[in-house]
Amino acid sequence: MTWIETVGMSMKWITARRWGKIGVGLAVAMVLWGTGCSPKTKDTPTDDANKTAEPEIRIPDNLKIVGSKEEAEEEMNEMASLAPSDTALQVGDLTITWGQLLSFMKKQYHVDFNKDRQLASYLTKIVVKKMLYRELMLEDARSRGVEVSKEDEEHYLKMLAEAAEKEDGQKTLERFLSEFPKETSNPLEISYGDMLKLAKYNDTLVKDIVITEEELEAELVRVRQADVQAKKDNEEVKQKLGELLDLPEMQTDEGFAGLARTYSDGTEAARGGYLGYFTRQQAAEGNELEEFPWNAGEVTPVIETSTGFRIMRVMDVISDEGGEKLKLAQILQEKRPLNNIQTLADLRPLYLKRKQQELLNARAKELVKAASYSCPLFPKGL
Checking if the pLDDT of 46 tops 50, the result is no
| pLDDT (mean) for 67-75 | 78
Task: Give me the mean pLDDT over the 27-40 stretch.
Answer: 51
Decide if 182 contacts 192 (C-beta within 8 A). Answer: yes
Give the pLDDT band of residue 14 (cuts 50, 70, 90).
very low
Global model pTM greater than 0.85:
no
Here the contacts of 305-308 (C-beta below 8 Å, separation 24 or greater) are: 305/335, 306/335, 307/61, 307/62, 307/334, 307/335, 307/337, 308/265, 308/332, 308/333, 308/334, 308/335
Of the candidates 63, 57, 60, which has an alpha carbon nearest to the alpha carbon of residue 110?
A: 57
Query: Exposure string (b/e) for 152-170, b if CB count within 10 Å is 16 or more?
Result: beebbeebbeebbeeeeee
**pLDDT over 70 percentage in the chain:** 79
Separate counts of helices (H) and strands (E) for the chain:
13, 7
Neighbours of 36 (CB within 10 A): 16
What are the sequence ranges of the domains in the chain?
A: 3-208+343-374, 213-334
Taking all residues of the chain, what is their mean pLDDT, rounded to a whole number? 80
* Residues 46-69, mean pLDDT to the nearest whole number: 46
What separation in angstroms does the CA of 118 have from each of 1, 111, 176? Answer: 19, 11, 31
Between CA 94 and CA 90 the distance in angstroms is: 6
Closest CA to 59 of 330, 287, 267, 333: 267
Q: Comparing C-alpha atoms, which of 272, 306, 278, 309 is closest to residue 292?
A: 278
pLDDT digits (tens, 9 = 90+) for 208-219: 999 999 999 999
3-state secondary structure of 310: strand
Q: How big is the chain, counted in residues?
A: 382
Average the pLDDT over 269-283 and give the result.
91
pLDDT surpasses 50 at 96: yes
